[in-house]
């Protein structure tokens, strides 16, 4: 046996090391990797509700975002270019304006609603 002093991260250890004779071969130890069972199957996740489908004549969202403001109510008269809805996406605001003169038939969103691209925002009557 040979005594050695080893320092690891400022901590000193005194160890004894067995010196092998030239006629002695090193031993190899094999270990088996433990078998790990597969994790329990995850519970199925319900599919998200289908997005509302825009009817003919509905004005739809040009992008996915969150409704920040709705400037009109059903029955309001608007002129082309009037601000109807403000959307926020990636900290940028997009104003949705009336494409033509008319009367708002229904407003399909409210502030705080998350909308996908193509979701109906409002319709003309």
Assigned domain for 10 exists: no
Give the CATH number, domain containing residue 92. 2.40.50.100
pTM above 0.75, yes or no: no
Going from the C-alpha of 83 to that of each of 10, 38, 91, the distances in angstroms are 71, 56, 19
Q: Is residue 66 in a domain?
A: yes
Domain count, the chain: 1
Range of the structural domain that residue 73 is part of: 58-124
92: in domain? yes
At 86, the pLDDT band (50, 70, 90 cuts) reads very high
> Hunting for tokens 């433990």 — which residue is that?
34
Would residue 9 count as lying in a domain? no
Residues 69 and 109 sit within 8 Å (Cβ to Cβ): no
Q: Are 71 and 107 in contact (CB under 8 A)?
A: no
* Inside any domain, residue 11: no
Whether 44 is covered by a domain: the verdict is no
Higher pLDDT, 101 or 33: 101
What is the pLDDT of the chain when averaged over all its residues? 82
The CA-based diameter of the chain, rounded to the nearest angstrom, is 103
DSSP-assigned letter for residue 40: P
The pLDDT, as a whole number, for residue 82 is: 94
């Amino acid at each position: 046996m040979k005594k050695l002093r080893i320092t690891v991260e400022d901590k000193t250890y005194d160890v004894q090391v067995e010196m092998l004779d030239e006629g002695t071969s090193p031993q190899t130890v094999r270990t088996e990797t433990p078998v790990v069972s597969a994790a329990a199957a995850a519970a199925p996740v319900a599919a998200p509700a289908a997005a509302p489908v825009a009817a003919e004549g509905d004005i739809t969202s040009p992008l996915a975002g969150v409704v920040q403001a709705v400037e009109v109510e059903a029955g309001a008269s608007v002129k082309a270019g009037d601000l109807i809805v403000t959307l926020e996406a990636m900290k940028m605001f997009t104003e949705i304006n009336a494409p033509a003169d008319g009367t708002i038939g229904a407003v399909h969103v409210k502030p705080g609603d998350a909308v996908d691209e193509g979701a109906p925002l409002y319709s003309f009557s």
